[in-house]
C-alpha cells in the first residue's frame, strides 16, 4: 500500500502540473499549478506506524487527532507535512464493487509555498475526463480528476474549502470509476483542525 500511495503522489505531480498549465492557457484561469503531492504520505489514520518512503525519507507520526494522523517527512531534503485519514463510510453503486482503500490528504510543502492542499486518493481509476465533487459545509466543490486522484479544480476556492472542513463534521467525496461505478466516500473531520494547527507549527521551519 505504501508503494501505491507513493505512486499516486508522483503521478499527481505530473497530472496536476499539466492541468495547471492548461488552465493558465485559458482566458479565465481558475487553477494554479498542483505540483508534487509530497513524496511521503503513509498509511491508515488509526495511529499507524510510519512506513519507509521514497528517497530514504520516512514519515513521522507527530500526533493523532481524532481520525486524522499528522505526519512530517523530508524527501529529497525538502520538508513535507500532511494530515491523512481514511473514510468513515464508503458505498458503491452498483453495491459492493471491489476497490482499493481511499485516503484523504491535506498537505503543506514550505519549499514550494504550498499550504493545506487537499487531495484524495480514491482507490480506483476514475472515468477519463470526469469531474468529481467534494461536499462540505453545505457547499460542493468541483474536483479535477486524473488516474485515481482528485484535486480541487479552482485553486482560488481551496482556502474556503479547508476552512469549511475545519468546522464541519464530515466531508463527502463522489466519483465515477472508469467502469461506470459511482462511489460515495464520507470522511469524518474530527480532529482535522487540531492536526492542521500542529502541522502549521511544525512546517514553519
Residue 140 clears pLDDT 90, i.e. is over it: yes
pLDDT tens string 68-103: 999 988 877 888 899 999 999 999 999 999 999 999
Phi, psi (5° rounding) for residue 195? -65, -40
Residue 146 clears pLDDT 80, i.e. is over it: yes
> Any idea where the domains of the chain sit in the sequence?
2-202
More confident residue, 6 or 128: 128
Distance (Å, whole) CA 155 – CA 151:
9
Instruction: Kindly state the greatest CA–CA separation across the chain.
Output: 47
Chain center to CA of 15: 14
Q: What rounded mean pLDDT belongs to the chain?
A: 78
Over the Cα atoms of the chain, what is R_g?
16
Q: What percent of the chain has pLDDT over 70?
A: 72
Please report which residue ranges of the chain form alpha helices under DSSP H. 2-24, 158-167, 192-202
pLDDT tens string 166-183: 999 999 999 999 999 999
Amino acid at each position: 500500500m505504501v508503494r501505491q500511495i507513493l505512486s499516486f503522489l508522483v503521478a499527481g505531480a505530473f497530472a496536476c502540473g499539466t492541468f495547471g498549465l492548461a488552465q493558465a492557457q485559458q482566458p479565465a484561469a481558475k487553477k494554479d499549478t498542483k505540483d508534487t503531492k509530497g513524496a511521503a504520505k503513509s498509511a491508515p489514520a488509526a495511529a499507524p506506524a510510519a512506513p519507509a518512503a521514497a528517497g530514504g525519507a520516512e514519515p513521522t507520526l507527530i500526533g493523532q487527532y481524532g481520525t486524522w494522523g499528522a505526519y512530517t517527512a523530508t524527501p529529497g531534503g525538502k520538508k513535507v507535512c500532511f494530515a491523512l485519514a481514511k473514510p468513515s463510510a464508503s458505498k458503491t453503486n452498483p453495491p459492493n464493487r471491489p476497490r482499493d482503500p481511499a485516503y484523504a490528504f491535506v498537505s503543506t510543502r514550505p519549499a514550494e509555498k504550498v499550504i493545506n492542499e487537499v487531495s484524495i486518493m480514491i482507490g480506483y481509476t476514475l472515468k477519463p475526463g470526469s469531474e468529481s465533487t467534494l461536499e462540505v459545509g453545505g457547499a460542493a466543490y468541483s474536483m479535477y480528476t486524473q488516474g485515481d486522484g482528485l484535486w480541487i479544480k479552482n485553486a482560488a476556492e481551496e482556502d474556503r474549502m479547508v476552512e469549511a472542513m475545519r468546522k464541519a463534521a464530515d466531508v463527502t467525496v463522489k466519483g465515477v470509476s472508469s467502469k461506470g461505478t459511482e462511489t460515495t466516500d464520507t470522511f469524518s473531520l474530527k480532529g482535522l483542525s487540531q492536526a492542521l494547527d500542529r502541522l502549521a507549527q511544525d512546517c514553519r521551519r
